[in-house]
């Protein structure tokens, strides 16, 4: 599970502004800074999104014949079990200290492809499970806030702005992590999906690129830091993320209006 936190935060700030952030700030920030408020909202959303993403990989692998994740105790919602000391703490901390883009990853859930019933297509399913779970979480968040909003209107009130903001962030973060991890380059989930779709003669060569995954990740971090004006992540990820988040916002509004 890999993510670039400032990109998700950037989308969220834009969405927050469009959904009445000024009124929210006047009511809730008080003496707190916008950054602290943003962190208080984003961090729990990130933890939930990351943990469910990783557990989904292991759970699908288990259903398809590989018990590795279960045997190693990784099929748990305890976030500590999914912390990578380097990717979750050291790298993001160092990048933040030196003013770079805060890039990080969780501890990958171990999967033994050879133990899957169908190694080729099974690995595709395992890889797709993480982003797919993030999309389902975003949909679940839209349904919950839609129902809560509709019931609130029936009771003669409305949801607090901070609740709507938090659910908006939850939807955005899950949409962002889904699409970001679907990028078809190692070591992202999308690279495993592409590997399963390629003809076998090409798939072997593609598989060799997986060994270079960490090197490619370092290059990605450095390139993002060295050439911020390129904004390749924003140009690649933002359009589908905003499309999906807007779709789920419409679902939430539709449910709320139906129940109101």
**Which residue matches tokens 């598989």?**
207
Check whether 93 has a pLDDT greater than 60.
Answer: yes
Classify each residue of 27-62 as buried b or exposed e, where b means 16 or more C-beta atoms within 10 Å of its C-beta: eeeeeeeeeebbeebbeebbebbbbbbbbbbbbbbb
Count Cβ atoms within 10 A of the Cβ of residue 70 and give its class: 0-12 exposed, 13-18 middle, 19 or more buried. Answer: middle
- For 36-76, how does the pLDDT look when each residue is reduced to its tens digit (9 = 90+)? 777 788 788 888 998 999 999 999 999 999 999 999 999 99
Q: How many CB atoms lie within 10 A of CB 159?
A: 17
Q: What's the pLDDT score for residue 3?
A: 54
Q: What's the pLDDT score for residue 230?
A: 73
Provide the token pair at 231.
């904004």
Rounded to whole angstroms, the Cα distance separating 91 from 98 reads 11
Provide the token pair at 229.
């004006």
The domains of the chain are located at 2-259
Does the annotation count 242 as an active-site position? no
Asked if 83 and 106 touch (Cβ cutoff 8 Å), the reply is yes
Q: What's the pLDDT score for residue 132?
A: 97
- DSSP assignment of 71-93 equals HTT-SS--GGGG--IIIIIIHHH
Q: Is 144 left (phi over 0), alpha (psi -120 to 50) or beta?
A: alpha
HSE of 153, CA atoms in CB hemisphere, 13 A: 12
Q: With residue 38 as reference, give the H or E element that holds it.
A: helix 34-63
- For 162-199, how does the pLDDT look when each residue is reduced to its tens digit (9 = 90+)? 888 899 999 998 998 999 899 888 878 999 999 889 88
**Cis peptide leading into residue 187 (ω within 30°):** yes
Of 37-51, 101-115, 143-157, 200-214, the poorest mean pLDDT is in 200-214
Nearest to 133 by CA among 164, 165, 192, 175: 175
Instruction: Given the residues 54, 161, 234, 242, select the one marked as catalytic.
Output: 54
Asked if 66 and 112 touch (Cβ cutoff 8 Å), the reply is yes
* Distances 91 to 83, 100, 129, 214, 226 between C-alpha atoms, Å: 12, 10, 26, 13, 16
- Selection from 27-36, 104-113, 226-235, 241-250 with the highest mean pLDDT: 241-250
Asked if 131 and 98 touch (Cβ cutoff 8 Å), the reply is no
- The pair phi, psi for residue 33, each rounded to 5°, is -85, 160
User: Global pTM?
Assistant: 0.83
Q: Cβ contacts of residue 242 below 8 Å, gap of 6+?
A: 11
């Amino acid at each position: 599970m890999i993510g670039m936190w400032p990109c998700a935060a950037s989308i969220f700030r834009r969405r927050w502004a469009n959904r009445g952030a000024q009124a929210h700030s006047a009511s809730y920030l008080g003496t707190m800074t916008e950054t602290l408020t943003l962190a208080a909202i984003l961090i729990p959303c990130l933890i939930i999104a990351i943990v469910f993403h990783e557990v989904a990989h292991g759970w699908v692998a288990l259903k398809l014949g590989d018990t590795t994740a279960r045997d190693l105790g990784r099929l748990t919602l305890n976030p500590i079990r999914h912390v990578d000391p380097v990717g979750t703490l050291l790298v993001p901390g160092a990048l933040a200290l030196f003013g770079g883009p805060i890039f990080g990853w969780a501890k990958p859930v171990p999967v033994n492809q050879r133990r899957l019933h169908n190694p080729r297509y099974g690995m595709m399913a395992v890889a797709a499970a993480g982003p797919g779970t993030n999309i389902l979480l975003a949909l679940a968040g839209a349904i919950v806030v839609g129902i809560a909003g509709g019931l609130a209107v029936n009771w003669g009130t409305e949801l607090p702005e901070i609740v709507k903001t938090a659910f908006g962030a939850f939807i955005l973060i899950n949409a962002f992590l889904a699409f970001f991890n679907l990028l078809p380059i190692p070591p992202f989930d999308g690279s495993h999906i592409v590997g399963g779709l390629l003809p076998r003669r090409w798939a072997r060569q593609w598989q060799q690129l997986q060994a270079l995954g960490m090197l490619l990740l370092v290059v990605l971090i450095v390139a993002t830091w060295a050439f911020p004006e390129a904004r390749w992540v924003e140009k690649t990820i933002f359009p589908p993320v905003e499309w999906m988040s807007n779709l789920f916002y419409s679902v939430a509004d539709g449910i709320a209006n139906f129940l109101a």
